[in-house]
Amino acid sequence: MTDGSAPRPAKTPNPKDRARGARQPDSPYPSRSGYADAPIAAEELAPKLRALLDLVVRETSLAMQYEISTENGGQSEGNESPDAQKDGNAAPRDRIAREEGLLVRFSGEDEEILLARNGELLLALEYLAHRWLRLPPTLHDAVRFECGDFRANRLEELKLSARVAAQRVRETGQPFPFNAMSSRDRRIIHLELTGAPGVRTMSEGSGDHRHLVIYPATPPSRK
């Protein structure tokens, strides 16, 4: 005799599971979060990134050109020179490290549009590229967008902000929290204040809300 229960049939995979980030054996992005578990080879990133940039330039009618290059100067393909990729300049086949990656440099008549409001559109397109490529936050440094001297100016602004905020913390004895920022920007401030007298830095929060806080080097004593 049996207990009357029939064996359950194997569950049929639901196509919607992929959209919810379920792990799929044949998925190019095998992660529960929907992001890639590990860095992707530059030769895989570049064509997908180029497809996005071609779409953006075409649909927005921006008078812009772009060039994709590796951080060590090797050139990949852009929309103004499809045959620019040559032997010795192709994107490397090894995995992209957090300190390396692809640099997208824009140029053209509409540079001012990209750089308006502290590079708002440029940074928005960079963020869109991270989502398009499904890069986890820890690998956002692998794809960077540049236009003119925006990055160099941004670097100096962050360093100046770090020094001014640190001085404020020394004078008031109160922590100074920055707004949420990328891991790259947080690292710049960390490095700028490394060894600075009277202050220490710490990253807090998680995900898109992760931010940096400058604290007094020693907590105030309680009376």
What pLDDT score was predicted for residue 220? 57
Q: What is the pLDDT of residues 58-109, one digit of tens each?
A: 999 999 999 999 865 333 444 443 333 333 333 333 334 344 589 999 999 9
Spans in the chain with pLDDT lower than 70: 1-41, 71-100, 219-223
- Laid out side by side, the sheet with 211-216 consists of 176-177, 211-216, 199-204
- Laid out side by side, the sheet with 143-147 consists of 64-70, 102-108, 143-147
Structure tokens at 134: 């499904």
Domain boundaries, the chain: 27-148, 153-216
Contact (Cβ atoms closer than 8 angstroms) between residue 68 and residue 55 = no
What pLDDT score was predicted for residue 152? 86
What pLDDT score was predicted for residue 206? 84
Specify the CATH architecture of the domain 153-216. Answer: 2-Layer Sandwich (3.30)
Structure tokens at 73: 């100067």
